[in-house]
């Protein structure tokens, strides 16, 4: 049985899409080949990495990638999931082939203000919401 391919897309591929990728890889790498990318690639948010490490999820080897790279290579996915706000989700490029498109909107960790500790405190509930959404979706698929 071949693995289903899933792509998580966000604006910069620095936080939300990366967390989704890490959770799917952690829980279901036997069933899914998971990727993430950004409308415009930024840099992986180190506070997101730290928040994920707090709950034992590694993001080792993950880095921000532009969606255009996948599209230019002609890569197709069974599922394409946008995780930014709805107005930015509409900017999500079309990937080759037929894919089921879904939108899971989550707040943007890069919009958080304050010290690193305050930002980390704001990232944790976003991480936990993403965690629950991914686990629920995996249980149904």
Q: Which residues of 32-64 are buried (b: 16+ CB within 10 A; e: fewer)?
A: bebbbbbbebbebbebbbebbeeeebebeebeb
**What does the DSSP 8-state code read for residue 93?**
P
| Euclidean distance between CA atoms 101 and 10, whole angstroms | 13
CB atoms within 10 A of CB 115: 8
Residues with catalytic roles: 10, 84, 92
- Cα separation, 129 vs 116, whole angstroms: 20
Among candidate residues 112, 106, 140, 11, the one with its CA nearest the CA of residue 66: 11
């Amino acid at each position: 049985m071949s693995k289903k391919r899933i792509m998580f897309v966000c604006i910069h591929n620095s936080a939300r899409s990366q967390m989704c990728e890490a959770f799917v890889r952690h829980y279901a790498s036997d069933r899914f080949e998971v990727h993430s990318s950004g409308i415009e690639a930024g840099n992986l948010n180190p506070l997101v990495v730290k928040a994920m490490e707090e709950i034992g999820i590694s993001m080792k080897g993950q880095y921000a990638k532009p969606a255009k790279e996948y599209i230019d290579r002609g890569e197709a996915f069974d599922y394409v999931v946008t995780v930014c706000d709805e107005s930015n989700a509409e900017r999500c490029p079309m990937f080759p082939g037929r894919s089921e498109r879904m939108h899971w909107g989550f707040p943007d960790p890069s919009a958080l203000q304050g010290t690193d500790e305050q930002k980390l405190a704001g990232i944790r509930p976003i991480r936990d919401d993403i965690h629950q959404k991914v686990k629920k979706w995996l249980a149904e698929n």
